[in-house]
Amino acid sequence: MSLTPDQQELEGGEELPSTKLSAIVKDWKKYLFEFLLIFTAVFLGFLADNIRENYGEQQRAIALARSFYEELKNDSATVVLKMEGRHQKENSIKYMIEFFRDSSFTSKSKELPYHFIWGVTARSPIIFTPRTVVLEQLKSSGSLRYFKNERLQKMIGDLSVSIDYILARQEYENSIFATYMEPVMINHMDFDFQHKLWQNSVNIFDRLEEYRTSDEYISFTISQPDQLNRQALMNALGYYHTNGLLSTRLIAFQQYVTVNAALLKELRAEYGLK
């Protein structure tokens, strides 16, 4: 009996086309399933890494924000004290200008040495050196990117500018002081008074305030009064007061205070700090 073509293929051990198609479909499903498994595993791994990285950045941002906040808060208190010191020095300079205008160099008033020291010699109560450890870390290490708040990033830039301005202004004041005030101190200060007042003192300005309000009296005399040019000294004091101290306090210091307060407020709102 003769065989049909399909029967002949079966007799020869070959698969029918329908059987081959079924095998191909089965293999394709297997490969697709394996591909989906691999893709899902890779995607989930990438997603986990991304979540882990974002969480790590958030934690670093919180840690940096907390350190930065403490740095700013400490400086906000310090700058207030320095501005108070500047007020005192400015007032003492005005006192000395009026003194040199029409007072006798033989005055026995305790106000004279008090304002002479504050107006002519005092430096440390007015110098503000902002803490910039965290600020420099943010700028130099690229850590600023952890702060996603663009307003916060801009404020940090403003803070950096205001600090640079304060330092530049204080350097300018230093040059005025070295040129005009130090010669007055060297030539006309009563260093015997200074030595008697401050021997065994820890804080010289606390001691000066204590002396001013006590019954204690230590003689103070303007040294070399015959070499003192009243008008030139008044001009120098006025220049130091207005072009140096007052301008720095009203512009540079106030700018820093404003930026500092805004940053503290933004950090509190962004990271829940207190």
pLDDT digits (tens, 9 = 90+) for 198-255: 998 889 999 999 999 999 999 999 999 999 999 999 999 999 999 999 999 999 999 9
Do the domain assignments include residue 33?
Answer: no
Least confident of 38-47, 109-118, 189-198, 221-230: 38-47
Structural domain including 89 reads: 70-271
Sign of CA dihedral 36, 37, 38, 44: positive
Do the domain assignments include residue 34?
Answer: no
Closest by CA to 82, choosing from 173, 210, 179, 158, is 173
Angle at 58 between CA 52 and CA 61, to 5 degrees: 140
Q: Rounded to 5, what percent of the chain is helix, strand, coil? A: 80, 0, 20
pLDDT band at 64 (very low <50, low <70, confident <90, very high): confident
Tokens describing residue 81: 């004290």
In the prediction, which pLDDT does 2 show? Answer: 52
pLDDT band at 55 (very low <50, low <70, confident <90, very high): very low
Mean pLDDT within 172-198: 96
Do the domain assignments include residue 240?
Answer: yes
Q: Which percentage of the chain shows pLDDT scores above 70?
A: 78
- Centroid of chain to Cα 41: 46
Do the domain assignments include residue 158?
Answer: yes
> Into how many domains does the chain fold?
1
Burial of 25 (0-12, 13-18, 19+ CB in 10 A): exposed
Cα→Cα distances 168→93, 108, 254, Å = 22, 39, 15
Give every CB contact of residue 89 below 8 A, 6+ residues apart in sequence.
118, 119, 122, 125, 126, 245
